[in-house]
Amino acid sequence: MKLLIKNAKLFYTNKLINCDVLVEDGKFKQIAENIVATDAKIIDAKFQLVTPGLVDVHVHFREPGQVHKETIRTGTLASAHGGFTTVGAMPNVTPVPDDAKKFQQQVALNQANSLIHTLQYAPVTVNETSDELVDIEGLAKLGAFAFSNDGHGIMNAQSMYEAMERIAAIDSHLAAHVEDKNLFNRGVINFGSASQRLGLPGIKQVAETSQLARDLVLAKETGVHYHVCHISTKDGIELVRMAKDAGINVTCEVSPHHLLLSDADILTDDANFKMNPPLRSEADRQALISGLQDGTIDMIATDHAPHAENEKNQGFEKSAFGITGIETSFPLMYSRLVKTGIISLEQLLNLMTEKPAQLFNLKNAGIIKLNQAADFAIINLADEYEIKTTDFLSKGKNSPFIGQNVYGQVEQTYIDGECVYSK
Ligand SMILES: NC(=O)N[C@@H](CC(=O)O)C(=O)O
Ligand SMILES: [Zn+2]
Ligand SMILES: [Zn+2]
């Protein structure tokens, strides 16, 4: 099977070039100015963006356990709709895949139902909440691409220390949802003017930063690749910046919602603005933008967290934490960061493809290489459209961005040269 993409604006070797792309037997075969292949199926990209399939190291699919929120099938369909071809699935499903048997079952379930590459996180501790470590070496051998207790901070410093030592010894990665539960204050919103204005219990910034500071010290001692999930605070960015300057092996991700919204945008008791960590202050948001510009932040990750409507229409106090994000990430980032001149398109694509793939050692993801798997997306940068829940392929419709107009609609997504999503 041959596929010839004419007139691509291709993101290749960190540059945007106008060219044709030939795909043969599921692999990139040729990249050149004017390719002729009479026996190929031809797609005229009309100078739309052709990018390596996007990579998101932080998503929540809800299978098994809460398939009314999302299944692996709907989650990966939504991912393909967002231009993503590789995602890292968090282990907060039921049961938590915390031993060999459950982990193998999870991997088999992912393989049977995924339209794209779903990589599986293993938890760090049993059931994600205890202090007892999982069989880190064993689960890595079974394919755990990284370890995370996402949703819960790891409270016991000794568990964290030992986990880091063991994860470092096998060259894997520890992704941390930093949150000291003793400082959490049963909060549902950022602690500050918005929590006061709305009369809601606030989550202090120190819940994030105090555990982050502890972890950075432990990461220095153990040498582990320590990855900070969904960083949200100004002081957190400053800590990561200092740690990087000190040579600590730390990386961090930021979510589109923390880059684009602050707690000042929460005008009513609408839980589509409720997630953990919460939307912070405008000063925090500005610090995240600076961190993106100066390279302190390494990648964009959505923290795609689908919930059912009746779990999100209960107001801030009663609704679940989390918002969907995989179908709106690229268009929002492109429209609000690139078109406004905050970062370049090349920078954005790097943050959503090569950087996450490289830092998590994902071979053959996030990059276009000759004779390698043809995983890519074709994206229309020219036309504006409105974000509508009726267009979502995710079961989750819980987004604070509904009704916004954006650019950057995904036209098609390919895995191994096969179309898995088409508009
Ligand atoms: N982000 C959220 O608010 N919720 C996540 C868990 C998490 O990432 O903390 C979820 O699984 O729903
Ligand atoms: Zn989290
Ligand atoms: Zn998460």
Distance 177 CA to ligand 3 centre (A): 8
Mean pLDDT over 268-295 rounds to: 98
How high is the mean pLDDT of the chain? Answer: 98
Contacts of 174 (CB under 8 A, 6+ apart): 124, 146, 147, 148, 163, 164, 167, 224, 225, 226, 227
- As beta bridge partners, residue 379 has 49, 410
**Mutation probe of ligand 1 site: the residue of 57, 257, 275, 394 with most atoms within 8 A of C-beta:** 275
Asked if 190 and 263 touch (Cβ cutoff 8 Å), the reply is yes
Closest-CA residue to 154 (of 139, 167, 170, 169): 167
Give yes or no for residue 305 CB within 6 A of ligand 1.
Answer: yes
Give yes or no for residue 275 CB within 6 A of ligand 1.
Answer: yes
In this prediction, residue 201 carries a pLDDT of 98
Give yes or no for residue 276 CB within 6 A of ligand 1.
Answer: yes
Asked if 396 and 324 touch (Cβ cutoff 8 Å), the reply is yes
Contacts of 102 (CB under 8 A, 6+ apart): 95, 96
Using 50, 70 and 90 to split pLDDT, how confident is the model at 78? very high
Structure token pair of residue 55: 């990579």
- Decide the pairing of beta strands 385-386 and 405-406: antiparallel
- As beta bridge partners, residue 176 has 228
- Interhelix angle 72-81/100-113, rounded to 10 degrees, is 50
Give yes or no for residue 205 CB within 6 A of ligand 1.
Answer: no
Fill in the amino acid letter for 74. T
Asked if 125 and 134 touch (Cβ cutoff 8 Å), the reply is yes
In this prediction, residue 158 carries a pLDDT of 98
Asked if 406 and 384 touch (Cβ cutoff 8 Å), the reply is yes
Atom of ligand 1 nearest to the CA of 275: 3
pTM above 0.90, yes or no: yes
Distances (CA, A) of 77 to 39, 61, 114, 149, 258: 30, 11, 8, 25, 24
**Domain residue extents for the chain:** 2-49+372-422, 54-359
CA distance 413 to 53: 7
Using 50, 70 and 90 to split pLDDT, how confident is the model at 167? very high
* Full 3-state SS string of 85-153: EEEEECCCCCCCCCCHHHHHHHHHHHHHHCCCEEEEEECCEHHHCCCCECCHHHHHHCCCCEEECCCCC
Mean pLDDT over 217-234 rounds to: 98
Closest-CA residue to 230 (of 324, 151, 116, 348): 151
Atom of ligand 1 nearest to the CA of 320: 12
In this prediction, residue 332 carries a pLDDT of 99
Binding site for Zn(2+), by residue number, is: 58, 60, 150, 177, 230, 303
Q: Identify the CATH homologous superfamily for domain 2-49+372-422.
A: Urease, subunit C, domain 1 (2.30.40.10)
Contacts of 409 (CB under 8 A, 6+ apart): 331, 379, 380, 383, 385, 423
Mean pLDDT over 237-254 rounds to: 98
| DSSP code for 43 | E
Using 50, 70 and 90 to split pLDDT, how confident is the model at 1? confident
Closest-CA residue to 234 (of 260, 209, 264): 209
Give yes or no for residue 202 CB within 6 A of ligand 1.
Answer: no
Structure token pair of residue 93: 């499903």
- Nearest residue (by CA) to ligand 1, atom 4, is 322
Fill in the amino acid letter for 259. L
Q: Residue 292 belongs to what H/E stretch?
A: helix 282-293
Of all residues in the chain, the percent with pLDDT exceeding 70 is 100
**Burial grade of 240 (CB within 10 A; 0-12, 13-18, 19 or more):** buried
- Interhelix angle 157-169/206-222, rounded to 10 degrees, is 40
Q: What are phi and psi of 107, to 5 degrees?
A: -65, -40
CATH class of 54-359: alpha beta
**Mutation probe of ligand 1 site: the residue of 303, 319, 326 with most atoms within 8 A of C-beta:** 303
Asked if 51 and 83 touch (Cβ cutoff 8 Å), the reply is yes
Closest-CA residue to 282 (of 252, 256, 261, 257): 261
Closest-CA residue to 233 (of 202, 205, 211): 205
CA distance 80 to 396: 15
Distance 234 CA to ligand 1 centre (A): 21
- Nearest residue (by CA) to ligand 1, atom 9, is 151
pLDDT tens, position by position, 104-138: 999 999 999 999 999 999 999 999 999 999 999 99
In this prediction, residue 139 carries a pLDDT of 98
pLDDT tens, position by position, 247-275: 999 999 999 999 999 999 999 999 999 99
pLDDT tens, position by position, 333-381: 999 999 999 999 999 999 999 999 999 999 889 999 999 999 999 999 9
